[in-house]
Amino acid sequence: MGNAFSCVLPLEMQARRRAVASKALRIPRSKSRKQALADEEILQQQALAMALLQQQLRFERSASVRNSKISTTPKQNFPRSASVRARQASDPVLDPHQLLHNKEGLQNLTTKHFVLIHGGGFGAWCWYKIIALLEDTGFTTSAIDLAGSGIDSSDPNCIRDLNTYCKPLTSYLQNIPDSDKVILVAHDVGGVCISHAMELFPLKIAKSVFVSAMMIRTGQSAFDVFAQELAGPDCLLRKAQIFNYGNKDSQSPTSVEYDKAHLNDLLFNQSPSKDVALATVSMRPVPFSPLMEKISISAENYGIVPRYYVMTGEDRAFTIAMQEKLAELNPPNQVFRLKGADHAPFFSKPQALSKVLAEIAQIDTSAVN
């Protein structure tokens, strides 16, 4: 009997010890998960608050600029972004220490200022995750609302040409000192706007980045690119378009918008549901005439600005085949690919996109210029 107890008791004690040790190991991961969820909740609350403010505020200058001072010691803490799908083995994992090649990388950069240009229907609000990630690293960002977009009070149906549509961007560039070069980043049809700006202010632009954007050649319009996409037999983009006719004297559309019933499948098939909700209440019609206007750019101006293209692998609005065709017809200096990103990589892959932008900022273009 005594021998039986001497064998059983040590086994029970070992089991209890293993249970206690297992609980102890799980505590840090639980706290880490709760902290990550809390960080994400704060970001989402700020974004939703921004959307509500858009319904109340009207600004004379339609530019959202965070003028925080650049810290001499870059912060290394990044908020985690939510995702509607499980992380895959092929997904890049952003290590904050890898955003810059070395600790002195940011201090040695000649250009630390990103100017972010949204795509059709979006506004400056769509960049909120990218703004937070880049500025937490020490970069400066300015997110511009194009005419009739975001909190800009212009009626999209009354914008007749590309120059008017791009005016908030060109006015912003005109007012910065000649010595303060910026990096332009554009999404979607915003690519046409930064191409227009590159032609006007080539010496104020250090680099331009096209994120699933229209990187067209001289004599082309944004519609020329869309027309190739719309020609497909099962084109979801064509099904999602709604044309508005705000000019009684003309039968031509004055603006175009997306059917909200198709937003999730077309634009946000990899994006978190909270970001989809934000976009649903914030997106506005896109002026139609600027999409039809053919752009005029030259090798002497547009051509001297280094260009980079960021492709989005799971994009249903602007397919990877079309992105590759644009890059082939108008070759950029370098192409980057975001695996698992939909048409809104600032929502679906914010950390990976921020890492690419930081990498582009560090590329030495002295030999190019």
Which position among 113, 187, 196, 343 bears the catalytic label?
A: 343
pLDDT at 307 over 60: yes
Rounded Cα–Cα distance for residues 24 and 118 (Å): 47
Q: Among 27-36, 101-110, 188-197, 339-348, where is mean pLDDT lowest?
A: 27-36
Residue 269 — pLDDT band, cuts 50, 70, 90?
Answer: very high
| pLDDT higher than threshold 60 for residue 256 | yes
Measured over the CA atoms of residue 80, residue 119, residue 344 and residue 357, the dihedral's sign is: negative
Lowest mean pLDDT among 9-23, 133-147, 265-279: 9-23
Residues 110-122: pLDDT tens digits?
899 999 999 999 9
Mean pLDDT of 31-38: 57
- Flag whether 87 is in a domain: no
Residue 71 has pLDDT above 90, yes or no: no
Question: Strand 140-144 and strand 182-188: pairing?
Answer: unpaired
Max CA separation in the chain (angstroms): 104
The reply to whether 315 belongs to the active site is yes
pLDDT at residue 368, rounded to an integer = 60
Give domain status of residue 203, yes or no. Answer: yes
pLDDT in tens, 322-360: 999 999 999 999 999 999 999 999 999 999 999 999 999
Please check whether residue 76 lies inside any domain of the structure. no
How far apart CA 131 and CA 152 sit, in angstroms, is 19
User: pLDDT (tens digit, 9 = 90+) per residue, 152-177?
Assistant: 999 999 999 999 999 999 999 999 99
Find the domain containing 258 and state its range. 35-67+94-361
Identify whether 7 is part of a domain. no
Q: How many domains does the chain have?
A: 1
3-state secondary structure of 280: helix
Pairing of strands 140-144, 113-117: parallel
pLDDT beyond 50 at 79 = no
pLDDT category, 233, cuts 50, 70, 90? low
Angle at CA of residue 19, ends 18 and 21, nearest 5°: 65
Q: Is 119 inside a domain boundary?
A: yes
Instruction: Give the model's pLDDT for residue 305.
Output: 98
Given 145, 275, 315, 342, the catalytic residue: 315
Residue 167 lies in a domain: yes
Catalytic residue among 152, 188, 275, 342: 188
State mean pLDDT over 201-226: 95
Is the pLDDT reported for residue 23 higher than 80?
Answer: no
Residue 22 is assigned to a structural domain of this protein: no
pLDDT beyond 70 at 5: no
Query: Is 180 considered catalytic here?
Result: no
pLDDT at 236: 80
Q: Which residues contact residue 39 at a Cβ distance below 8 angstroms, ignoring those fewer than 6 apart?
A: 79, 80
For residue 201, tell me if it sits in a domain.
yes
| Active site (annotated) includes residue 188 | yes
Is the pLDDT at 137 greater than 60, yes or no?
yes
Phi, psi angle pair for 112, to nearest 5°: -120, 10
Instruction: Report the CATH number that the domain containing residue 183 is assigned in CATH.
Output: 3.40.50.1820
